Amino acid sequence: MKITVIIPWVFLFFLVVHYGDARAEKKGGILSATLAKSQMMQIISPRLDWAMTNNNYAVQSFDADWKVVPNESIALYQQARQVYIFAKGFEATNDDRYLIAMTKSADFMIDHMYDESTSNWFAGLNRDNFLQRSQPKEYDNAFALFAMSHAYEVSREKRYLDKALATWMLSDLATGFLLAKSKNVSSAESTLYDETWSTNALMHLLEALLALHDVTQSGTVWQDIEIIANFVATSLMQERGYIADYYENVNQPLAISSGGYVELGHQIEWAYLFHIAVDRGLEPKYRTLANSLVEYALAVGWNDSEGSLGGRADYRKTLIEKQPVWWAQAEFMKLNLYLIKREFATTKSKYLLSSSYSFVVNNFIDYKAGGWFISSREGKRRPVGYHPVGMYSEELVKYY
């Protein structure tokens, strides 16, 4: 029998789970630091326990009972996400086991997925034969840079910084980045590109560069952040207030009939990245851009009756995939936690956080074993946890 938990917007939240009383510590916050840490560690700890027990730090796929689901390949972006969640586990607990697991996971990336001759990364490996590798992909490279930056931040081991910097200096790091740099030194009219390209890799590259800047304070890295931000604002942002997921001819959203769409969760991710970039010195106008992206996502996809955000839309503000996506719910909660903690929030922001958390509790949190699960045709699966761990970590950040 499914249990429905109703969380009113005035934050009277009481959720008793197998792990004890999970109640908010203070009035005004749907997630306390204690509750956030508890639920975050329920995602990370079983993965740590399995890795240490089996002395195997290659990322695994698990079912709802934390049993390994066999699969043939190890994806670079998933391995990188495992590095990130172990880093966050160490930051939250100061338990050296998480530091060891993060180090071994990052070293696995370097030992088996990094090409010393090109400074590039293989996008995947065969689990039974590490010499069977797939070619680099810009999406995975962005996560490799992200993981190496976080590994260095936590461990201060120079080999991680070296790999992060080598990745950053790749000439073909991301198509969108190449287009942004080309526009920066010329003009939009003189930048020619007649292929379809994805903004998802560019978005995660911005995320990775912000992490790299945090650990280097490099002015050159910051210039790259500004170049991407300017390109998004002047070339990709559409009048209706969205960033499409695919473009052609540099800055034309790919036609819906050709597979174009607006991923609403990505609007939220872009918005969060612009907000934290402004915190680090980006011009304040990017908060306005961030707010426009959120307003678009809410206008098109917010379901107030269940507290969820829809999946994808076309360019006329019509939902083409109504089903809420688990990772987008986590990103939406992260953004609202940020707005509240930075004291930008209104009553509406708090209401949205409360409503979305109610949806998450009822649809993605495991009452018995803890942690998050997602449902698929093959049954319930455990995500690596990059999205919800990032969300819970936002509650643990101290801005003031």
Smallest CA-to-CA distance from 99 within 51, 66, 136 is with 51
Q: Where are the alpha helices (DSSP H) in the chain?
A: 33-54, 76-93, 96-113, 138-155, 158-168, 175-185, 199-216, 219-231, 264-279, 285-301, 326-341, 347-363, 386-396
pLDDT of residue 192: 62
Average pLDDT estimate for 139-156: 98
DSSP states along 363-374: HTB-TTT-SB-E
> How many angstroms from the chain centroid is the CA of residue 226?
20
Residue 12 predicted with pLDDT over 90:
no
Share the mean pLDDT of the chain: 91
Measured at the CA of 308, the angle between CA 142 and CA 305, to 5 degrees, comes to 170
The pLDDT of 34-42, averaged and rounded, is: 96
pTM beyond 0.75, yes or no? yes
Given a cut of 80, is residue 1 above it in pLDDT? no
pLDDT of residue 14: 35
Tokens 């190890």, residue?
74
Average pLDDT of span 282-294: 97
Instruction: Tell whether the model's pLDDT for residue 130 goes beyond 90.
Output: yes
